[in-house]
Amino acid sequence: MEQSLDQLSDDFDAGEWPGVTSMTITVDGDLLIEEYSSDVSTDDTHDLRSATKSVTAILIGELIEDGLISSVDQPVAKLIPHRFSSFDSRDLKRQITVKDMLTMRSGMACDDWVPASLGQEDKMYETPDWVAFFLSQPRAHERGKHFSYCTGGVVLLGELITDLSGMSVSDFATERLFEPLGISSAKWADTPTGGTDTGGHLEMTAADFHRLGVTLLDGNPEIISPDWFDEMVGYQTDVYERRSTYGYLWWRDRVEMDGRTLDYHYAHGNGGNFIFAVPDLGLVASFTGTNFGSRLQFQPVSILQDRIIPAVMDGLPSSKTE
């Protein structure tokens, strides 16, 4: 394993993967690799883009732990009624649940992967009220049935966090997640109404990003309810035209290696910002990157599957590879 990982570090230093700005790997909590590109320092913060959504899912779990949300099946309209006051009592938008938002199955005409979509995120960013923009979109699918990647719905969850906790998202996240983990670099972006962009643009250092990933390897019961962790990173829905599946704002995938199936869950943000957690190997690999809007942003997936996992498996005792 050591030789393979040394070669991996050499390849990183040689610029084998352009636009990948950091790579950090731990196994069973032991730091094996921490690499930075020449133009990045350890103190630099990185725009994690949609990896932010995965942090938002953790915070929703904290609200459930506190009893402020009774269950993921509770309608959002019951929790923040002022946002739905202009809708007729029979409007089907009132039936959208917390789970629908966490699994990207609200049914709204919002698909960030399709530029022509009415609710696509770039159109949302041009408006003065992102939540109102999202809720103004027509319905395009049956609620709870169709996956459609939509940042606007996750921004709505941010408003839910603020209203129910009585705290800003930043303060709530610091108290319940970041401070207990020793993460001090986190900085959230604002929405035009003074809320928090819980759908993207959270910034932190690569080391803090990885520290978060270590917590998300197999859960941390002192911070995240084990039941919530299992639901959050467990299978919730298929994703059309992708091999990956989806949990609660966390991605899921698997790799076949030496006759063994290894499941892993991950956070992903545009540009190549990833946390990969492979519980069966005790492996966490995190990356930051600047390949925004490019297929190159997926380089870390190949690095994980083709280089990191084989190296780690090669170094495990035979009893752990069976």
Predicted pLDDT of residue 319: 40
How many angstroms separate the CA atoms of 37 and 9, rounded? 11
pTM of the full structure: 0.96
Crossing angle of helices 51-65/151-165, nearest 10°?
30
Give the model confidence (pLDDT) of 86-105 as tens digits: 999 999 999 999 999 999 99
Cβ contacts of residue 156 below 8 Å, gap of 6+?
76, 83, 101, 131, 134, 135
Residue 222 has pLDDT above 70, yes or no: yes
Instruction: Please give the pLDDT value at position 316.
Output: 65
* DSSP sequence for 226-256: HHHHHHHHS--EE-TT-S-EESSS-EEEEEE
Task: Look up residue 72 and give its amino acid.
Answer: V
Mean pLDDT of the chain: 95
Q: Region 116-123: what's the mean pLDDT?
A: 98
User: Could you report the per-residue pLDDT of 168-215, keeping only the tens digit for each?
Assistant: 999 999 999 999 999 999 999 999 999 999 999 999 999 999 999 999
- Tokens describing residue 162: 């603020």
Is residue 315 pLDDT above 90, yes or no? no
Domains, the chain, in order of start with CATH, read 46-204 (3.40.710.10)
Q: What is the pLDDT of residues 261-313, one digit of tens each?
A: 999 999 999 999 999 999 999 999 999 999 999 999 999 999 999 999 999 99
Residue 3: pLDDT band (50, 70, 90) is: confident
**Has residue 321 got a pLDDT over 50?**
no
Give the β-pairing of 45-47 and 203-205: antiparallel
Is residue 186 within 8 Å of residue 174, measured between CB atoms? yes
